[in-house]
Structures are given as structure tokens and as C-alpha cells.
Chains A and B, each alone.
Chain A
Amino acid sequence: MAARPQRKIDRRQVERLSHLELRARLAVEGLFSGIHKSPYHGFNVEFAEYREYSPGDDPRYLDWRVLARSDRFFVKQFEAETNLNCYLLVDSSGSMGFGHDDHTRLDYGASLAAAVALLMLRQGDQVGLVTFDTAVRAFIPPRGNARHFSVIRDALECVKAGGDTRIASVLHEIAERVRRRSLVVLISDLFDNAEEVLRGLQHFRHRRHEVIVLHLMDDAEITFPFDRVTLFEGMERGEQVVVDPRVIAEGYRASVGAYLESLKRGCAEKNIDYQRMLLSEPFDRALTAYLGWRRYRSSGGTRR
């Protein structure tokens, strides 16, 4: 029985973002020619660099002109541009159901994933989708055809928040399943042990995948703006605790701040793009800003 749609992804809003471009920063393996750098050198058209000849190199790639001028053996290196396999890992644990006015974090993440999927498909890449909580709940392998977006969109519309979170173990599982170097986009609130999450992400990096972490947070989860005694009910395990926010606000903020900082620093150390997105900011604007920054950084700029 087909799952009932939980949300409606606004295709028009998603399509407004399809003109954007998401290039892999690192080399990815593609079957078709595309806009991304390929790790396979030699056959393509774009010159990359010279490398001193070493025995075993194909002599066809010797640069005879350099040899004639300098009497030294250099081999020409070319970069291949290829298409990209992109895996969208969407967290569907219970905590993703958090939100305001019937607009949950998962809604936001689904829209975001749909937008990324569409723009990737539009630029000729192949996009797959993985939804997970404590385990992988749906795995849609990457495809590049036009109809694949509908498959992904339908899957995103039907995904339902629930269950506990075990991001780290899921990341390890997916990392084992994805063999070809790909772009992995993790869309999650990352409410799990930070050290283990980073270890899971490191697993992707170990397999030469490029990883983008889109960390979805609500403003309230950072600022903790409550001012009277409140019963907080956990969205995953259902635990309840009554607290006076005035008492714990500062400690909470400090704790969350330290956690975010540790994630950011850990991702930076592992050459992982980490982008925190606030649910108060429309996802299109947030994604546009992120991709703009990413392009700027790829061209040699640094983050402001």
C-alpha cells in the first residue's frame, strides 16, 4: 500500500531554484560527461597540470614541446568533467517533526532536498534519496532521468517523522553502501552524539565522498526563549521533563552553542561543508545563500 503523503512540496518554489548550480568541490566519479571534476585524467579536454614523467606512464601523454625546450620529461595531466551522483540523506526521526504552525523541520528538509534534487537533475547529475531514523527507511538509488524527480518528490512527500535517531550508525551503513565517489548531502537536525555523528561523516570522507551537512535548527532550539515553567516532551522517546526555563536557559544555550561549535569545527577539520539553516528562514533563500557562498569559496574566496 502506498504511503500517504504527509506534505505537499511546492514544485514552483522548488523550480525557482533549479537555475542554481551545485558543483562538487572535490572530484567525483561520473559515468557521463558533466560539470563536475572527474578523478580520471588523460582523455578529456581540460588541461590540469604537468607532472614529471615516471616509468610506466603512457608516453603518449609526454609533452614533446617541453621536452624539446627543456630536455625534461613531463607528462600532461588533464581533468575530466563528469556528471555526479548525489545522495540526499534526509533524517526522518521524531525530532524532525518539530516545528511551528504545521510546518515541521521535516517539511523544511523535504523541500530543501527536493530543491537540491531538482537542481542536480537539471544540471545532469544523478540524484538518490535516503531517508532514515534509527535505520535506513527508504533508499532510492541515483538516477538522472527527468522522471526521477517525481520519484524523489513523492518519496519526500510521504516521509513521516517518527522514531528515535541513530544518525551515526545510519551514516556508517550508507557509507558502506555507496561505493562510487559521490556528493552526499545530509539534511538533519543532528540531534545525536556529536562525536559519533562526526565519526559517521568521517566514514564518507574516508571513502572520498564529498559531504555537505545541512543542519536544520529552529531558532527556539538555539535561543530557548521560554520564560515560564514548561513541560517539555521529547519527540522521539516521549520523555517528559518540567523545567523553569529561566533556570536552565543559560545552561541550555551554552550547551547547544558548544554542540554547534563542535559540529562546525569537526566538519571543518574533515573538509565537510557544514551549513546551519534556521527554520525561520525560507529554505529557498537559505539554499540560495549557501550555494552562492559555496561558489564564492570554490573560486578562491573565503567565508565572510
Chain B
Amino acid sequence: MSFLHPEFLWLAPLVAVPILIHLLNRVRYRRIRWAAMEFLLATEQRAVRRARLRQILLMILRTAVLLFALGALAQPILSGALASLLGSASQVAVALDASASMSAADASGSAFERAKRLAAAEVAALPRGTRAAAFAFAARTDGAFRVPIQDHRAIASAITSAELTGGATDIPLAIRTAAESLRRGGGGGTIWLLTDLRDAGWHAGGKGAWDDVRAALQAAGHPRIVITDAAPAIASNTSVAKVQVTPDVLLEGDVPRLTAAISLEGGSGTTVKASLSFDGRLVDTRTVQFTGPGAAEAVFHLPALPSGPHAGYVELEHDALPADDRSYFVLRPAPSIPVLIASGQVSSIPFESSGDFLAAALEPPTSEDAARSPFTVKAVPASQLAGHTLADFAAVCLADVARPDGETLKALRDYLAAGGLVILFPGPHTDTAAWNASGLVDLRSESALQAEGEKHVKVNWTSPTSPVTATLAAEGLDRLAIARCIRLAPAPADEVLARLDAGEPFLIRSQVGKGKIYVFAVSCQNDFSNLPFTPILLITVHRMLHTHLVETGEPLSLPAFTALEFPARPGDGRVVTPGGKTLPVAVREGQPGQAYFEQTAQVGIYRLASGDLGADASGAPPLAAINTPVEESSLPRIQPTEVRTLLGGSSVYFLAADGNVGTVAADSPASRAATGFPLAALALAFILGEVLLAWSMSRPAAGAARRSPAATAARA
């Protein structure tokens, strides 16, 4: 038998106190020489026998009171309590926590495996009339038996086949799902939640999530909630909290630096060995020293990267919670960043065309600079824009495009909807009315600066947070000579990145779908301003591209249960999971351009194995790294009082079916309800019994008087 509060067991010797009192009372008595022994003996013979019996009963009662009071404090985990709680219900919904934190293990195995064994055994042992449903959950729920059925063997089998995921815990989701199962089964019953009571899982989904849970519980007829804490005690945990690679836009040939953030929670100082494996081989090992709980970094240098996808992981020596000891990442250095420049006016004379300055800014004409440029520029007349696949380009720059035709406009909209970047430079040929009609931008007439000739103005970079313009003022890049400009009319949702002295917007950014449009108030020719001759053009355009690539680039890793999305093309595809399973990807209904794969429950590297879905320009299959969410590394556990608050009016029982399942949360009011309360009630009953006994002892021993020889003599 195990106890919720074994620290109270040191009070166990107190149980012997009534026995000692009983024995001492037998030894420590007053001695009196007595003359009227005849009467004493006559009365004593039966009364004393009865008194001895009463004394023994009193001793037993007192011992029992102490024993049960001790039990109420220490709260033994009753092996039959779980079965009775489950078996007394008409239906049971079993919610098995399959989140990463359930991988926590001690010598007897992982919490998940123990919880599975327990759940399968208890479900198999349910009374015949009890229906059961079961599902595993983490950030999502997974299980075929959402409606309670009577086939306990099938349910137990489903529980046994459940797999541990690398996902985060979402307790509100689990309880809501279980309540929905019971509601479908007619309401009432018991929700049996097997989890590790990690605090983070109970706060998933925010406060609104619990309103939904309470509503679901109410709809299900307020089922009883039994929570089994399956977690072993973990004193400390080291985890790879995050992996970062610099530079954040990787190109072929880069030698990136990888920084792994390693954290230690709980415990005292320790030394952790971190190793980096990349493309299937061990690259390097670092030793990280902790003087106490906190964070530290391990820095690795990757080899020069060829283009194409690469995968690796940083791994720590395994501890009691192994799920967070390895962090996968995927790198996809590109050969270069393709940019499409569409010029409204094309000329054979260098720098006469409206896009020439822009092309020169992105891809310097000299061979040495060109070699260093990350961009591959393709300049085309605006009329040919629709003939190109815009999705192949990281950005599309429109220079003095008079008006977008229908095809161009559609291509631009699709491109922006998919997350593209458009940089728009109006010019003297720009038909503002036509652009306004496109709905993409809102341009007005040219400004009054036209009549006043070229004027040196100060550009006020107004967005202190934009990575594009935030540092320009500090860098002294805030002077322009402007002869003409287009008056911009930003929408409320647009961000004005720069204004001229007069307050006229100079550079705005609009969000269109997932994409972005930057609009300058001047052209990228010298007919409007000297912008092409200043570093401002080059720096801002570079930063626009960089920021956009960082924002829309592939992440190093994704948390489990994140859907992997691919641009869909005709054909099918298969994804190979870290476990080696090959699973099909799906195409979203009504969105033929989007394919997705949702079953990223396990951590590791996912590969697109077949078909041409999502194949990138290099032809290499895409990869995705799935990792355990950082919150699963957190050790704090929720307090039962908070659980009761969250669950509102439902009856909550914290139980462990046997000593092998782990300890139930300390200070559990529900535990007291399950074990402590009955024990306290028993103690109360015994106290009452003792009062009754004392009362009965205070009553006259009339029988003894009737039976005394003296009384017999008196009658005679």
C-alpha cells in the first residue's frame, strides 16, 4: 500500500498510545485496604468482567480512532477505490495522456506505458453493463472509440495500441472530448483521465477553453472525473529548449553557426554533454556546465552547406524525461534568392529602363559584387509578368508599371495570397486610377513637389520596430532630393514606414493575404528623386527581401501536431514518418493548390517520399523537423485545488489504482474525498462510538446489584 502523504507515517507510533494507556492503567492503580470486600467481590465478578471488556473495547476504539486519523492524514491509496469508482458508472470515457511529458520514466518504465497497462486492465475488468470509450490525447485527440460501447476487449486493445506522441498536453481538449463522448452515450458516467498533471497542459487553450469544458461537462450531465496521476517523481530535467542558426537566411556555401539553448529545471548544478548530429553523422560535442537551474548555450559550427535540404539534431544525455533531450532541425540553403523585376518602360540604354537601378541594387553588375550577391535577378517587361511563375521568385518588383492587366493582376493576387512579396515603385507612367481599381494599392495624384523642383527633404523613418527601416535614421540615411512623388493614401491597416517633412507618406507596407506589398512614393529612376543613387534604395530593398524571407521561410523545426503544408501540384505524395511509416498526404477540399500532412505526432524528421508534391526547385524532397514543445519540459504540476476550480461543479477524484502507478498529487482535496474523507468519517464514527461507550459506562450496573449475595440475603 502506498500513501499520499507518507510523511505523516512517522506519527504511527502514536497508535500504540491507547495500548500503553490501557496497560499502564492496569499497572498504575491506587491501592486501598478495604473491609467491605464481600460487596466488592459480589459486584465485581460480572461488572469487572464487563468493565475489562469495555476497557479493551475502549482501547480498540481509541487505537482505531488514531489509526484512522493517521490514515486520514497519510491517505492510503486504496486499491479498490479506482475499480469501484469506474465500475459504479454506467459509462466510462478513458482519456489517456500521450503527450511528450508522459515519457518520463523511472526504473519501472515510462509513465505512459504504466498508464496504458492500468487503463487496459481496468477497462477489461469493467462490469458487463458498463460502456466505455477511450482515446489518447496530446495537442489532439486520437482514438477510434469516441462513443461508449460495451466491447471492453476492443477498448482495452485500442488503449494498448496507443502510442506516445511528442505533442503538448491539452487537458481542456481531452476533458471536452471525453464529455462529448459521454454526452453521446446518454450523459453521466465517469471520465477517467490518466495524465501526469503537468501544469502547462491544464492551461492550454487559454481561459476560454475551460468555459467550453464546463459547458461540455454540463451538457454531459456533470460526469464524475477520476484523475490518475501516472507521473514518477522527477527532481530535475535538462532539455534542448531551442535551436537557432545564423544567418537566418541560408544560401548555398554558407557556414552557419548553430546555437542550442539548453535549460536545466530543478535540481542543483550539473554538467551536460550536448552533441550535434548533422546529415546522419556526429559533428561535434560540447559540455555545458550548470551551477544551478537556468539556461545555457552550446554553440556549434556546421560545415559549409551545399544547397538542398539537410537535417540534424542536438542531443543531450538522456535523463528521466527523454522526450525533450533531442531537438531536430532542418536547413534548406538555397543557391540564391530569385527576384523578378517587371519594368513598365524598357530601354536598350543602360539605366534608362525603369528597373535598371533596381536590378543593379539587387545584383551588382561587377562580377565580384555579383558573386557576393544572394539575389538572382530576372528583369522582364511588365507585359510578360503573367507568363512567369511568380511562386518561383522570392519577390516581385514592379517599376513604373503603367497599369496591371487582368492576367497580371490575377497572378499578383495569387502570388500575394500564397505569401509573396511585391515591391512597387510608381513612376511617371503609372496610371494611379488603374492601380487603385486593382484594390492592391491606393495611389493618389502626384504631389505638389513637382512644381517646386527638386527639393532636399528629410525622410522620417516612422516605424521604430520595422526591421526594414528601424536603423536607417541612426545610420544617417534620411536625406533625399525629391522632385516629384506620388501621394500615397495608406489604409488604416497599412503601416507607414516613412514620411516626408510635410507628413506625406513616403513608404508604406500593406498586408495582402499572406503576402506583403511595399509601396514607395517615388520611382526607382532619377526622374523623381535621387533615391537610386543613395544607399537607401539598396538597403531598404535588401532588408525587405531579408525580412520577408525570414518571416515566410521554413522554420528550423515545428512542434508536434503541426500540419505540414505543401503547395499542391497534380499527383499524389507520401510522407515517411520518423518511425518509418509511409503515409499519404491529403489535398485540402476546395483548395487544390494546398496539400497537407497532419499526422506529425511523433518527433523527428518527416520526408516527402514520393510523388512530385512540394518538390522544390532543386528537386530535393522537402523535410520537416518535428519537436517536443518546450512547455512539455516544464516540471511544475497543477495543484488539485486549481483543478477543482477549473472543473467547476464536477466531482473530482485523484486516485491511483495501486502503488505501482505513482503518487497522487499532494494536498489533494479530491483524494481526501476518495480516501481521506471516508477515513475521517470513520474516525468520527469511532469517536462517537467512544462517547457512546463512555456514556454506557456511566450507567449504573443494576444487574450486578441484583445478583449480589447481599441482595439475595436481603430478599431472603
Contacts and interface: CB of A to CB of B under 8 A. Distances in A.
Interface of A: 94-98, 105, 189, 191, 193-195, 218, 221, 226, 228-237, 239, 241-244, 246-248, 250-256, 258-259, 261-262
A33 B37 CA distance: 46
A251 B34 contact: no
18 contacts: A95-B35, A95-B37, A191-B38, A193-B709, A221-B36, A231-B30, A231-B32, A233-B33, A234-B37, A235-B34, A243-B44, A244-B51, A250-B701, A251-B702, A251-B705, A255-B704, A256-B39, A259-B711
B714 to A, nearest CB: 4
Interface in B40-56: 40-44, 47-48, 50-51, 54-55
B335 to A, nearest CB: 102
Contact of B55 (A233, A244, A255, A262): A244
Given A241-B44, A254-B700, 14 more contacts: A95-B35, A95-B36, A194-B710, A194-B713, A195-B713, A226-B32, A235-B34, A241-B40, A243-B51, A251-B47, A252-B39, A252-B40, A259-B39, A259-B713
B716 interface: yes
Contact of A250 (B34, B702, B714, B716): B702
B29 interface: yes
A35 B615 CA distance: 149
Contacts of B41: 239, 241
Contacts of B29: 228-231, 242
Contact of B714 (A97, A191, A226, A262): A262
Given A248-B701, A255-B710, A243 B40 contact: yes
Given A250-B702, A251-B702, A258-B710, A191 B51 contact: no
Contacts of A98: 33-35
Contacts of A229: 25-26, 28-30
B523 interface: no
Contacts of A250: 699-702, 704-705
Given A230-B30, A232-B32, A262 B701 contact: no
- Residue among A105, A228, A231, A250 with max Cβ neighbours from chain B (10 Å): A250
Contacts of A191: 35-38
B51 to A, nearest CB: 4
Given A235-B35, A241-B40, A254-B700, A262 B710 contact: yes
A232 B714 contact: no
Given A256-B39, A259-B714, A243 B48 contact: yes
Contacts of B181: none
A235 B32 CA distance: 10
B37 to A, nearest CB: 4
Contacts of A94: 35
B714 A241 contact: no
A252 B43 contact: yes
B708 interface: yes
A248 B711 CA distance: 15
A234 B34 contact: yes
A230 to B, nearest CB: 5
Nearest to B699: A250
Given A243-B51, A247-B54, A255-B42, A195 B37 contact: no
A105 B698 CA distance: 31
B700 A231 contact: no
B31 interface: yes
B360 to A, nearest CB: 113
A251 B25 contact: no
B707 to A, nearest CB: 8
Chain B, interface size: which category? Answer: 35 or more
Contacts, number: 152
B35 A189 contact: yes
Contacts of B685: none
Contact of A228 (B30, B38, B708, B714): B30
A222 B51 CA distance: 21
Interface of B: 25-26, 28-44, 47-48, 50-51, 54-55, 697-706, 708-711, 713-714, 716
Contact of A246 (B28, B38, B40, B698): B698
A193 B713 contact: yes
Classify the interface of chain B: helix, strand, loop or mixed.
helix
B215 to A, nearest CB: 62
Contacts of B711: 254-255, 258-259
A255 B43 contact: yes
A194 B39 CA distance: 12
Contacts of B36: 95, 189, 191, 221, 256
Given A242-B26, A242-B29, A233 B701 contact: no
A226 B40 CA distance: 12
Contacts of B699: 250
B708 A255 contact: yes
B31 A230 contact: yes
Contact of B48 (A228, A235, A236, A241): A241
B701 A247 contact: yes
Closest 7 CB pairs of A and B: A254-B705, A250-B700, A251-B704, A262-B714, A95-B35, A259-B710, A98-B35
A243 B700 CA distance: 15
A152 B675 CA distance: 81
Contacts of A234: 33-35, 37
Given A230-B30, A255-B42, A247 B35 contact: no
Contacts of A221: 35-36
A191 B699 CA distance: 27
A192 to B, nearest CB: 8
A254 B702 contact: yes
A229 B26 CA distance: 8
A247 B694 CA distance: 10
Contacts of B706: 254
B48 A248 contact: yes
A247 B713 contact: no
Contact of A233 (B31, B39, B697): B31
A253 B31 CA distance: 20
B59 to A, nearest CB: 13
Contacts of A230: 29-32
Nearest to B30: A230
Contacts of B708: 251, 254-255, 258
A102 to B, nearest CB: 13
A296 B40 CA distance: 37
Given A241-B40, A242-B26, A248-B51, A235 B705 contact: no
Given A235-B35, A246-B697, A255-B42, A262 B51 contact: no
Nearest to A247: B51
- Residue among A242, A246, A255 with max Cβ neighbours from chain B (10 Å): A255
Contact of B47 (A97, A193, A231, A247): A247
Contacts of A237: 37
Contacts of B700: 250-251, 254
B369 to A, nearest CB: 109
A37 B338 CA distance: 156
Contacts of A247: 47-48, 50-51, 54, 697, 701
A236 B37 contact: yes
Contacts of A256: 36, 39, 710
B667 to A, nearest CB: 43
Nearest to A189: B35
Contacts of A262: 710, 713-714
Contacts of A218: 35
A242 B50 CA distance: 13
A260 B479 CA distance: 130
A208 B457 CA distance: 155
Contacts of A252: 39-40, 43, 704-705
A233 B44 CA distance: 13
- Residue among B30, B35, B37 with max Cβ neighbours from chain A (10 Å): B35
A258 B35 contact: no
B35 A105 contact: yes
Contact of B43 (A194, A226, A236, A251): A251
A248 B713 contact: no
A42 to B, nearest CB: 44
